[in-house]
Amino acid sequence: MIIDVNAYLGHFAFRRLRHNTAPSLLALMDSKRIDKAVVSSASAITYRNAQAGNEEVAEEVRGHSDRLIPFTVINPFYAGWQDDLKICHEEFGMVGLRLYPKWHNYQLASPCCRELVNAATERGMVISIPIRVEDNRQRSWLLNVPDVPLEEIVDLVKAHPKARFILLNGIGYTGCPLGRKDNGLPSNYAIELSRLSAVLANEIGRLITNLGAERVMFGTGMPFNYPDPALVKLEVLDASEADKGKICSQNAMTWLRL
């Protein structure tokens, strides 16, 4: 089984996405033999009211809950986020959330964000943080949204040892405490592999060595990205079948309680 913890539905403000409806994403997943995917709203990245994007995703995934696992996008500085979180969790069945601190212009260390992380954790929700949405070099002339610095993630995971984080679309973890062995950090975060190398520097292999295969998860970033590069990484990764099994699906199943 393959579970993709890094997928999206809806539109992105700066580029046309294909395969961004539930039927078309499922068709793409079928063609790549990806069984399940965690999806959130791509539109909510730039909507002022992210909840409108969450509602769109809730509608899209209806009838596909066996394959598409919806996450909510919450901006903790936007009015009514507590209500949105409650609705998304209790009514829409969203078992996790995605945070966009740079796109939504807040600090991970801010009290509002800390309050959101605590509230989500109390609900048993997984919190995923895309380190980036797209390559910054191709950004629109309208904006300049930096990647989330990994140092800010270090502080976050330390401050919330009971929370569970999945870090998406990141790279360079082995160059900071997050990817180092015996780093003194709680083991409350997992790292998704879509941008990590499986050859040459082989960051995936180094993370398996340093943190254990239990802390690495498969993800593609589809439909922003082709799913194939992530699948190729799995194919060429020099790891045991047991470790690949954990990365492909077992870790996600444990974290998402599937």
Interface residue list for another protein (CB under 8 A): 1-2, 15-19, 24, 27-28, 30-35, 134-135, 137-141, 144, 194-195, 197-200, 221-236, 238, 241, 244-245, 248-249
Nearest distance from C-beta of residue 160 to another protein, angstroms: 31
Nearest distance from C-beta of residue 157 to another protein, angstroms: 26
User: In Å, what is the CA distance from 59 to each residue of 23, 69, 128, 139, 240?
Assistant: 12, 12, 21, 30, 39
Nearest distance from C-beta of residue 208 to another protein, angstroms: 15
Contacts of residue 20, Cβ cutoff 8 Å, sequence gap at least 6: 8, 9, 10, 11, 42, 223
DSSP collapsed to 3 states, 3-26: EEEEEEECCECCECCCCCCHHHHH
Report the length, in residues, of the chain. Answer: 258
Nearest distance from C-beta of residue 215 to another protein, angstroms: 18
CB 84 within 8 Å of CB 61:
no
Would you tell me how many other CB atoms lie within 10 Å of the CB of residue 135? 10
Question: Whose Cβ is closer to another protein: residue 179's or residue 227's?
Answer: 227
Question: Whose Cβ is closer to another protein: residue 79's or residue 200's?
Answer: 200
Six token digits for residue 155: 């502080």
In three-state secondary structure terms, 256 is: helix
Q: Which of 126, 184, 133, 128 is nearest to 154 (CA)?
A: 184
Nearest distance from C-beta of residue 163 to another protein, angstroms: 28
Question: Whose Cβ is closer to another protein: residue 36's or residue 104's?
Answer: 36
Question: Whose Cβ is closer to another protein: residue 112's or residue 231's?
Answer: 231
Question: Whose Cβ is closer to another protein: residue 117's or residue 237's?
Answer: 237
d(CA 116, CA 188): 17
Nearest distance from C-beta of residue 111 to another protein, angstroms: 33
Question: Whose Cβ is closer to another protein: residue 27's or residue 109's?
Answer: 27
